[in-house]
A and B are shown apart, each in its own frame.
Chain A
Amino acid sequence: MSYDVLVIGGGPAGLSAAINAHARGKSVLVVSNPLEENPLWRSEKVDNYLGLPAMTGAELLTAFQKHAESAGATFKVGRVLNAAMMGNEWYVSIGSDVEEARTVVLAAGVARGNKFPGEEEFLGRGVSYCATCDGMLYRERPVAVLGWADSARQEADFLTSIGCQVSFFEKPKTCEIKGDKTVESVTCDGKTVQADCVFILRPAMPPTDLFPGLSMDGGFVAVNRQMATNLPGLFAAGDCTGGPLQVSKAAGEGLIAGQSAARWIDKKQRENQ
């Protein structure tokens, strides 16, 4: 089915966008990593969220998600790999699935575009961001998984289950991917392993990799007061649009983005009548 609004990210910005778009009668799908993988989950005390002092990040996130769920938003756990506008719809791929929506709210937090040496050079020639997509091409062969979350461990287990010989690097700091025509090895934090493919599973893809042509400003997604980006039907909210990286700011921006997405859909509908 096609949704009115697809929200990428299940933090304060994304959930606020979901609640506000849903309140305007729009169908909403929230795609996010598991809640516990949100950086806010580990925050021991958030003391500047108005009216709710001294909450932990986990308490806030749990309450936010419960609110969005009870409001009627649909949830899907997974990492968004690609997004593209075709016709008048956004198509978003999550692992082996594709979802459709008329608008997208990008609220995936800070995903810096810093890449490892060799990563860009060998993309598609032994560097992959999708274990479910490309794993089968490397059965019986050595692969490396660079993972930053529990879900990356699960993807490594999937690769092992289909017969890949997996070396797992947990949250490596510095890596270098080497090879000739294709990837041959990867070195992370001083340890080198042979690998025909290196799966790089970061918590989120950098915005410009997800959305080719997206305008940035100082490393963050460029938005206007309506939280609209330069791409039609794409809005952004929260940490991905810049600081301060705080819950109140994210929730406020999410509200605007959700309402703007709803308004955008209504406007398109009027134009088509």
Chain B
Amino acid sequence: MGLQHMKTSEFDAAVSAAPLAMIDFWASWCGPCKMLSPTIEALAGQYDGKVLVGKVNVDEEPDLARQFGVMSIPTVVFLKNGREFDRKVGLMPADAFTAVLDENL
């Protein structure tokens, strides 16, 4: 499945169907987001088939950013069957994300 670039229209259905999802809210004008990007891509590969790893461009999908109250990017939101249970704001090393994923797999 790999990394999903998610649109508002398909978002709810996709995350509701996923036991565990990790969504990165980002934008092209944000340097820290660009720095986080390779980490998110690597995690999409590492957790392929186990976790839905997606990216939401807040510029193209402002409604989703508003719905999740994204106040600073990058923001990574963790969901179980569409329900948020954790989030990480700002640039972080991969193990900050794997710790949440491994605990909730």
Contacts and interface: CB of A to CB of B under 8 A. Distances in A.
Interface string B55-72: 000110000010001111
B95 to A, nearest CB: 12
A263 to B, nearest CB: 27
Given A84-B91, A136-B27, A182 B71 contact: yes
Interface in A108-130: 123-128, 130
A133 B71 contact: no
A167 interface: no
Interface string B69-96: 1111101000000000000011101000
Nearest to B27: A136
Interface residues of B, number: 24
A136 B58 contact: yes
Contact of B30 (A84, A86, A130, A197): A130
Contacts of A125: 71-72, 89
Interface residues of A, number: 26
B31 A94 contact: yes
A93 B71 contact: no
Given A124-B75, A134-B72, A182-B71, A84 B93 contact: yes
Contacts of B33: 133
A197 B32 contact: no
Given A84-B91, A123-B89, A98 B34 contact: yes
Most buried by A among B39, B65, B72, B90: B72
Q: Which 8 A-B pairs have CB atoms at the shortest separation, nearest pair first? A: A124-B89, A93-B31, A133-B30, A96-B29, A124-B72, A82-B91, A98-B34, A91-B35
Interface of A: 81-82, 84, 86, 91, 93-98, 123-128, 130, 132-134, 136-137, 182, 197, 212
20 contacts: A82-B31, A84-B35, A93-B34, A93-B35, A98-B31, A98-B35, A123-B89, A124-B72, A124-B75, A125-B71, A125-B72, A126-B71, A128-B72, A130-B32, A132-B29, A133-B73, A136-B27, A137-B58, A137-B71, A137-B73
